[in-house]
Amino acid sequence: MKKFTGFTLIEVLIAIAIVAILFGIAFPSYQSHIQKSNRIAAQLALTKLAQEFERVNARQGAYPTTLPTIDATDSYTYALPSVTDDTFTITATPKMSDECGTLSITQTGETASSKSSGCWD
């Protein structure tokens, strides 16, 4: 008689259960990390845009009325909701749900988020 070697159904189910538990713990953490890195990229893009606006203002005496083309993450939409000769506000709105909501920066360097106050820290 030959003795068959291999895994039993119970052993396979236990292995699948362990993998599912590990995935259930790791995946939300991974999503949170991706969301945070996208937020940091958006903050960097907003800061670069504000610097560009200041350079234009120093040369021409007024802030531009349109956003320049930027190299930024696809996770946010950038907009210029208000601009005058002396002031501007640039916003970054997340395309997916984010705990910080819309990020913004002004000509004074004041930063804000629509949902939480600690997002720029």
Cα separation, 34 vs 55, whole angstroms? 32
79's tokens? 């907009």
Tell me what pLDDT residue 98 has. 84
54 has pLDDT over 80: yes
Q: Check: CB of residue 113 under 8 Å from CB of residue 119.
A: yes
5 has pLDDT over 80: no
Cα separation, 49 vs 62, whole angstroms? 15
> What radius of gyration, in Å, describes the C-alpha atoms of the chain?
24
Cα separation, 6 vs 3, whole angstroms? 10
Return the residue matching tokens 């990020």. 103
Residue 27 is given by DSSP the state H
* Residue 92, H or E segment: strand 88-94
Nearest to 92 by CA among 38, 51, 56, 53: 38
Binned at pLDDT 50, 70 and 90, residue 4 comes out as confident
Q: Check: CB of residue 86 under 8 Å from CB of residue 79.
A: no
Give 106's strand partners.
89
Span 91-105, pLDDT tens digits: 999 998 888 889 999
